[in-house]
Amino acid sequence: MAASSSSAPATLHDVAREAGVSLATASRSLNGSTRKVNEDYRQRVLAAAARLNYSPNFSAQAVAKGSTSTVALLVSDIADPYFSSIAAGVIRAAEAQGLIVTMAVTERSTERELELVRALRGQRPRVMILTGSRSDGSTSQAALIAELQAFAGNGGRVVLISQEGLPFSTVVVDNYLGARALANSLVGAGYRRFAAIGGARALVTSRDRLAGFADGLAEHGIAIHPDHIVRGEFTRDGGFAAATELLTGGLDQVDLVFAVSDVMAIGAMSALREAGIDVPGDVAVAGFDDIDTARDVTPALTTVNIPLADLGRRAVELALSDAAVTADEVTRVETRVILRASSPPR
């Protein structure tokens, strides 16, 4: 029976005493490097540990060893399917390596991101994985890089997901090419007149996708009228609001609305629907990311697939790879255009 009143957890010391061996022997039996201890002793220690319900104190181990086995993961918003899918990949890969994941949420604020990185350094994680769009021109950008470099200088591994160009290992998504391919596919499907919903101007992801899309159209001599480019937050509600804004200008000159992310596209579709506009009858819609629900909305959403869970897995692998210790590595993931019912051939 476990003690019902609050008492301290059993320590290695307790186990050693219970087993009648030294602290060192107990340590070696339970964690220490492979085989060095007599099997008899081993068994006695294990039995004692079980009897006392011993659980090694990770903090103490970390202090003694000078290293932890935790991975720190920063996301913008864990309730956003884009990030939660990536997080699932990170956690799965980390757990497979016996690593524990600690998660922090930046709420899309670069200041908060900086604060969190600073705070998380105290954890001395083996790895820090940052995901979410870089936004250049932010005043904290330089400070963030400095902070991360300090962390890396102390032996920590930094991996960025999705944005290239920072001096760290990165899992790169080619947003530009993906969007360009999407534009090409849509033109191939017969679309000619486009509107676009972007995120904040400073967000690199938004910019790359918008640029790729525009360039893809340009290859066919098509341009998006400036009035048909609106911006909103990188959220469902942002997409909803942006589409609403688009509606005030009228959508008669538009065949298809491209939103730089699926969640925005889905918000936009809801706005259109509520305004009595038929998708894709009156206007088609396309997004980017291929989140799970993209196939479950009606009409199913045309988009660009990113293997999100893979992004997380690759980030962990990259962090743990030997190659990335000496020099920053970049691994690229493929994107793939997925045409669905929200943009039928016309």
Binding site for its own copies (CB under 8 A): 2-9, 53, 55-60, 62-63, 66, 68, 70, 77-81, 84-85, 87-88, 91-92, 95, 100-105, 118-124, 146, 149-150, 153-155, 236, 266-267, 269-270, 273, 292-293, 295-299, 309
* 8 A C-beta contact, residue 256 and residue 195: yes
Distance CA 251, CA 286 (A): 15
> Taking CB within 5 to 8 Å according to partner kind, which of DNA, its own copies, none is near residue 338?
none
- Which of DNA, its own copies, none sits in contact with 104, Cβ below 5 to 8 A by type? its own copies
Q: With contact defined as beta carbons under 8 Å apart, do 301 and 264 qualify?
A: no
Nearer to its own copies, 43 or 293 (CB): 293
Structure tokens at 257: 């609305």
List phi, psi (to 5°) of 228. Answer: -100, 15
**Considering beta carbons, is residue 139 or 154 the nearer one to DNA?**
154
d(CA 72, CA 101): 6
Task: Pick one of 47, 50, 51, 64: the residue that binds DNA (CB under 7 A).
Answer: 64
Q: Indicate whether 38 belongs to the interface with DNA (CB under 7 A).
A: yes
* Identity of the residue, 8 or 327, whose beta carbon is nearer to DNA in the bound complex: 8
Rank residues 125 and 132 by Cβ distance to DNA and give the closer one.
125
Tokens of 272: 């259109």
Q: Rounded distance, CA 67 to CA 61, Å?
A: 8
Binding mask 207-226 for DNA (x = CB under 7 A): --------------------
Of 14, 11, 21, 64, residue with least CA distance to 42: 21
- Residue 131 or 212 with smaller CB distance to its own copies: 131
Angle at 262 between CA 260 and CA 306, to 5 degrees: 85
* Prior bond of 56 cis (ω within 30°): no
Select the binding partner of residue 53 from DNA, its own copies, none (C-beta < 5 to 8 A, by kind): its own copies
Binding of DNA by 28 (CB under 7 A):
yes
Cβ atoms within 10 Å, residue 327: 7
CB of 296 to its own copies, least distance (A): 5
Which range touches DNA (CB under 7 A), out of 20-28, 77-85, 112-120, 166-174?
Answer: 20-28
User: Least CB distance from residue 145 to its own copies, whole Å?
Assistant: 10
- Pick the closest to residue 343 from 288, 291, 293, 306 (CA basis): 288
Query: 252: how many CB neighbours lie within 10 A of its CB?
Result: 8
Taking CB under 7 A as the criterion, the residue among 3, 34, 40, 153 binding DNA is 40
In the bound state with DNA, the residue whose beta carbon lies nearer, of 11 and 331, is 11
Complex with its own copies: residue 217 or 301, whichever CB lies closer: 301
How buried is 46 (Cβ within 10 angstroms: 0-12 exposed, 13-18 middle, 19+ buried)? middle
The residue among 57, 343, 320, 75 whose CA lies nearest residue 190 is: 343
| C-beta of 80 vs 174, nearer to its own copies | 80
Q: Does 49 bind DNA (CB under 7 A)?
A: no
Q: Which residues are 295's β-sheet partners? A: none
Rounded CA gap, 109 and 66, in Å? 32
Contact indicator for 124, 131 with CB cutoff of 8 Å: no
| From 36-44, 166-174, 190-198, 261-269, span contacting DNA (CB under 7 A) | 36-44
Footprint of DNA on this chain (CB under 7 A)?
8, 11-13, 21-25, 27-28, 30-33, 35-38, 40-41, 54, 56-57, 60-61, 63-66
